[in-house]
Amino acid sequence: MTESDKFFEEDPLLQEQDEQEMYEHYRFVADKGQGFLRVDKFLMARMENTSRNKIQNAAKAGNILVNDEPVKSNYKVKPLDVVSIVLAFPPREIELIPQDIPINILYEDDDLLLVNKEAGMVVHPGHGNYTGTLVNALVFHFKDLPMQNNEPVKPGLVHRIDKNTSGILLIAKTELAQTRLAKLFFDRRIDRLYYALVWGDVKQEEGTITGHIGRSLKNRQVMEVFPDGEHGKHAVTHYKVLERFGYVTLVECKLETGRTHQIRAHFRYIGHPLFNDETYGGDRILKGTTFTRYKQFIQNCFKVCPRHALHAKTLGFLHPITGKPMFFESVLPDDMQQLLEKWRHYAKHKAYEEEGPTDVDTSAEPLD
């Protein structure tokens, strides 16, 4: 193990925040002397802190594969079988306090719920945010639901979005739904589109950004792209230009993977940080003119949208119980709509009337 690998492994905060997709994947190869043994017992012997019931639920959901084929819990493991299992991320050991906080519910049935999360709301309680989160609001919303296995219904997170990112979030209401949704995320069968306003005039109409993403070796609060794959995890973002405003560009992003800060880190890596993203250097003038009026315009834009300009726009998936195709779309929040209108007006009436515009910066300065 390298020193950098040890650095990541020994930091529990980094471990719990590593993925935005909240599932666990395990893979085991039975040795040559393996006797015939039920696959649930085989996995129980190799997975700490995982109940047999949870493993059997995974089998019921089709999340246990032997040699790439789904099996039931009574399948008998044979020598050299390759056994893999996908589990929903285990809930953190923290008291969930119900709070009557308004939430925008796009859809709800007996198995799942979709929320249009507003910017500024933390998804799950954690260090420094034990109340006021989306999960606190959901626990309150679920309080009148029938008990499951003699326990209250708890929100089953299968992915998450940043505090200051707005948009659609999918939540499971049953363990079976959560387990099956986790497998859909693992198999990359969840379609997600984000809208982002980024600095600069993105040259290509569409493209793909590829590069491992992991915690910066110098600043643990920042995700960094490691193009050679020496650290981090494989990450792929596809994008398409929607509107050009000269000094900023509205892009649509499709996630192939779901790493923490993926869109923010990837666009920072290619020299187009998200507009007003203070973590990745987008909260200052990176492109534009030297005119005072322009500088004031940018400050007004920052006030209109006082967070990074990123919204989870659409979400498509197969219902985990019925198999029915589901698709949801959310409108851009007011702050991003106002921001785009300001840029449309500027691009139409101001940008090209000014004589001799010059770039303030050709790229963002390094964070570290």
344: β partners: none
191-349: same fold as 105-186? Answer: yes
In whole angstroms, give the CA distance from residue 183 to residue 158: 10
Residue 91: per-residue pLDDT: 58
Residue 213: per-residue pLDDT: 94
Helix (H, G, I), strand (E, B) or coil at 347: helix
In whole angstroms, give the CA distance from residue 181 to residue 193: 18
Does 129 have pLDDT greater than 90?
A: no
Structural tokens at position 78: 């044979």
CA 128 to chain centre: 20
201 is catalytic: no
pLDDT in tens, 184-233: 998 899 999 999 999 999 999 999 999 999 999 888 889 999 988 888 99
Residue with more model confidence, 228 or 151: 228
Helix (H, G, I), strand (E, B) or coil at 183: helix
191-349 has which CATH code?
Answer: 3.30.2350.10
pLDDT in tens, 330-345: 999 999 999 999 999 9
Residue 18: per-residue pLDDT: 41
Residue 276: per-residue pLDDT: 98
Q: Among residues 40, 81, 111, 162, which one is catalytic?
A: 162
pLDDT in tens, 247-262: 999 999 999 998 999 9
Does 351 have pLDDT greater than 90?
A: no
Residue 313: per-residue pLDDT: 98
Give the end-to-end CA distance of the chain in Å, rounded to a whole number: 25
Does 327 have pLDDT greater than 50?
A: yes
Question: Is the pTM above the cut of 0.75?
Answer: yes
In whole angstroms, give the CA distance from residue 361 to residue 273: 12
Structural tokens at position 187: 């198999």
Q: Which CATH class is domain 105-186?
A: alpha beta
Q: Judge whether 255 and 192 are in contact, CB under 8 Å.
A: yes
In whole angstroms, give the CA distance from residue 354 to residue 362: 19
In the chain, which residue ranges form alpha helices assigned H by DSSP? 3-9, 12-16, 39-44, 52-60, 134-141, 175-186, 262-269, 292-304, 334-349
Q: Residue 149 CB: number of other CB atoms within 10 A?
A: 7
Return the domain boundaries, the chain. Answer: 18-88, 105-186, 191-349
Alpha-carbon separation of residue 190 from 168, 245, 309, 319, 326 (angstroms): 13, 31, 23, 11, 10
Residue 93: per-residue pLDDT: 59
196: β partners: 251, 310
Residue 350: per-residue pLDDT: 63
- Among the listed residues 228, 199, 198, 223, the one whose alpha carbon sits nearest the alpha carbon of residue 213: 223
Q: Which CATH number fits domain 18-88: 1.10.357.10, 3.40.50.410, 1.20.140.10, 3.10.290.10?
A: 3.10.290.10
What is the Cα gyration radius of the chain?
23
State the average pLDDT for the chain.
86
pLDDT in tens, 274-319: 999 999 999 999 999 888 999 999 999 999 999 999 999 999 999 9
Exposure b/e, 200-230, CB count within 10 A at least 16 = b: bebeeeeeebebbbbbbeeeeebbbbbeeee
pLDDT classification of 353: cutoffs 50, 70, 90: low
**DSSP state at residue 261:** T
pLDDT in tens, 53-107: 889 888 988 899 999 899 998 999 999 999 999 888 765 656 788 999 999 999 9
Structural tokens at position 314: 């659409």
